[in-house]
Amino acid sequence: MKFKKFIILAVLIIIVPSTIVAQLSNAKKARAMQKAVYFWNFAQGCDWPDEHRSGNFVIGIYGDNELYTALIKGYSSLKRGSQPFKIVEIKEAGEIDGCHMLYVDEAKKYVLESKRKVLKSSATLIITNQKGILNEGSMINFVYPTPLTEFEVSKSNASKSKLVIGKDISSMAVAVR
Amino acid sequence: MKQFLHIAFLLVVASNVTAQRTHWEQAVLCYQEDSLICASEKIDLAIKDSNEVKDPYTWHVRAFIYREISKRSSDENEKNLARDKSVEAFTKSLSLDKLDEQKLKTNNIKGLEAIATGLYNEGVTWLQRFEVEKGIEFLEKHNKTLRIIDDNYFIVEREVSIKRAAAAILTDRYNDDNEGNSDAFDKAIEYYNDILAVDSNDFKTNLNIGVLYHNKGINLLTGTRLDLTLPEIMQLQKDHVFYMQKSLQYMTKAYQTNENHPGVIRALAGAYYSLHDDEKHEFYNQKLIKLEGTEGND
């Protein structure tokens, strides 16, 4: 008995609808989300003077559109106690008034010097993203000693603005002043 | 099959017509009358007979009868069962045939090869319907069947084409719903690693597995709840870093194969950004700008 016909092997052609790619913009969104979670914890774990505990809880973002977008998306329906969050994208230094929390990107750090008096009197928790900037008035500063996003705090800078950085935050900081 | 029947039929006719026919001879006659039910009943009796069960021809005939049943059956379970019996019978015939002149060896082997090809083709059909598990199951059956003939059987092209297609489908499944289909991620990685075990420099596989890990790391953070505690976000970051470092491992390999592929460079730029390695992020970002005139945002 012999086989006369050829054995035909099927050809495999799979068409998968979508292709997969890695996007740098997604990495930037991911980092912004990390910071947004930190902001939530900073808002919950710090104390503001009584006169700042009513109305909207204002978070100003100066120089980081990705972070602003992440906060707008995530915080719009949330509250700090009875205070609804209000997220503001700062376009000019003159707009920083009245923020409970203010994030200043590295490129905009000059505002810490030029608006020092305003910031101090308005009990604004200043958050930054540059090595060594606690010396320039920042209260919480993101640092990257490892591949993780971590932070250092300056309780003394905070107390000058009548703010208290809570234990939950300072215990997780890589450095406390 | 016709030629098999012709020879078998001649054997039956040539045997002493006055003597009682063996079960396998009766099976051949049933088959000649196109009654597969009768043929299977007779051949089942043949293997219960203490004399016939030792005859390689009994098993040879049984293999062909069950192969035919499998081919004609429209019921999947019945088809699979008959095919398994056919494979078992070819194997048994081969082992019994070893002692004499091995007259049946060539056709037993060809019978197994035909079944194995059918199994591979069925695997392909399942994959074309995006049924990954079935596709892989039939590839494994194909391999198992051919390893009856050759212990070392392994054809890279067949293995790689099935595993690559399976991994691509699973990746797509994971991308559609990365929480609900997290097991698809693990399986896709497993199949891509199977391909890399054969060729560790396979560019597409290194790229695809690198992108899978990259996007898994990104998804962890972009899909997170905002009200995590600080210890929770630290742990999430550690997981994110783990996946980004895994991505780098494969992307670096892909980069060594092709230094000018925008997808690889974009992923490297993104991974180093995520890991806060600004120098390397900038290196790949600049390279991407030179290649495409834009950074890797689009």
Mean pLDDT for back-to-back runs of 10 residues, chain B (298 residues): 52 56 93 93 95 93 96 94 97 84 86 95 93 96 96 92 94 90 95 96 95 94 92 96 97 96 94 95 94 65
Output the CA–CA distances (angstroms, integers) from residue A156 to A132, A161, A163, A176, A177, in the order listed. Answer: 15, 9, 9, 9, 7
Q: What pLDDT does residue A17 have?
A: 47
Q: How far apart are CA A127 and CA A116, in angstroms?
A: 14
Phi, then psi, of A149 in degrees rounded to 5 = -85, 115
| DSSP secondary structure of B125-169 | HHHHTT-HHHHHHHHHHHHHHHHHH-TT---HHHHHHHHHHHHHH
Residue A123 CB-half CA count within 13 A: 16
- Mean pLDDT, all residues of chain A: 88
Residues B259 and B209: their CA atoms lie apart, in Å, by: 17
Q: What is the CA radius of gyration of chain A?
A: 24
Q: How far apart are CA B142 and CA B127, in angstroms?
A: 15
With an 8 Å Cβ cutoff, is B212 touching chain A? yes
Is A147 within 8 Å of B241 when comparing Cβ atoms? yes
Phi, psi of B47 (to 5 degrees): -80, -5
- The CATH T-level fold of domain B203-298 is 1.25.40
Q: How far does Cα B123 stand from its chain's mean position? A: 7
Query: Which residue among B4, B234, B274 places its CB closest to the CB of A30?
Result: B274
Query: In angstroms, what separates the C-alpha of B85 from chain A's closest C-alpha?
Result: 20
| Amino acid code (one letter) for B151 | D
Strand ranges of the sheet holding A125-128, from the earlier edge strand across to the other edge = A79-80, A83-89, A57-62, A101-104, A125-128, A140-143, A150-153, A175-176
Alpha-carbon distance A108 to A10, whole Å?
62
Question: For B191, which DSSP code?
Answer: H
Residue B289 C-alpha, separation from nearest chain A C-alpha, in angstroms: 12
Q: How many CA atoms lie within 13 A of B167 on its CB side?
A: 26
Could you tell me which residues are beta bridge partners of residue A152?
Answer: A141, A175
Residues B271 and A22: their CA atoms lie apart, in Å, by: 9
Q: How many helices (H) and strands (E) does chain B have?
A: 13, 0
Q: Tell me the whole-structure pTM to 2 decimals.
A: 0.85
Contacts of B121 in chain A (CB under 8 A): 8-10
Helical residues (DSSP H) of A5-63, grouped into ranges: 24-45
Section A5-26 average pLDDT = 63
Q: Cβ A2–B241 below 8 Å, yes or no? A: no
The CATH number linked to A24 is 3.40.50
Bridge partners, A142 (sequence order): A151
What is the tens place of the pLDDT at every residue in A46-85? Answer: 999 999 999 999 999 999 999 999 999 988 888 999 999 9
Show residues of chain A in contact with B229, CB under 8 Å. Answer: 41
DSSP structural state of residue A12:
-
Q: What is the fold of B1-154?
A: 1.25.40
Q: Report the C-alpha gap between B261 and B263 in whole angstroms.
A: 6
CA-to-CA distance for B207 and B217, rounded, in angstroms?
Answer: 15
Residue type present at position A10: A
Q: With an 8 Å Cβ cutoff, are B215 and A148 in contact?
A: no
d(CA B249, CA B139): 29
> How many angstroms separate the CA of residue B282 from the nearest CA in chain A?
12
Residue A31, pLDDT > 90, answer yes
The Cα–Cα gap between B198 and B64 comes to 35
Give, in order, the Cα–Cα distances in Å from B248 to each of A57, B209, B214: 40, 10, 8
Would you call B271 and A168 a contact, using CB atoms and an 8 Å cutoff?
no
Q: Inter-chain contact A25–B298, Cβ cutoff 8 Å? A: yes
Residue with tokens 């947004």: A36
- Domain of residue A101 covers 2-176
Rounded Cα gap, residues A128 and A138, in angstroms:
6
DSSP calls for A96-122: -TT-SEEEE-GGGTHHHHHTHHHHHHT
CA A66 – CA A129 distance, rounded (Å): 14
For chain B, what are the domain ranges? Answer: 1-154, 203-298
Q: Which two tokens stand for residue A45?
A: 């774990």
Contact B38, B57 (CB under 8 A): no
Find where tokens 């460079």 sit: B265
ipTM of the assembly? 0.88
Q: What is the pLDDT of residue B19?
A: 60
As given in the structure block, the two tokens for residue A73 are 């998306």
Model confidence pLDDT, tens digit, residues A97-125: 899 999 999 999 888 888 888 888 889 99
B102 Cβ under 8 Å from any chain A Cβ? no
CA distances from B198 to A51, A71, A99 (A): 68, 46, 59
- Residue A23 pLDDT greater than 80, yes or no: no
Chain B, 32-51: which have a CB under 8 Å from a chain A CB? none
State the total domains in chain A: 1
Three-state secondary-structure class, residue B100: coil
Helix (H, G, I), strand (E, B) or coil at A54: coil
Report d(CA A54, CA B201) in Å as an integer: 61
Residue with tokens 């994959």: B127
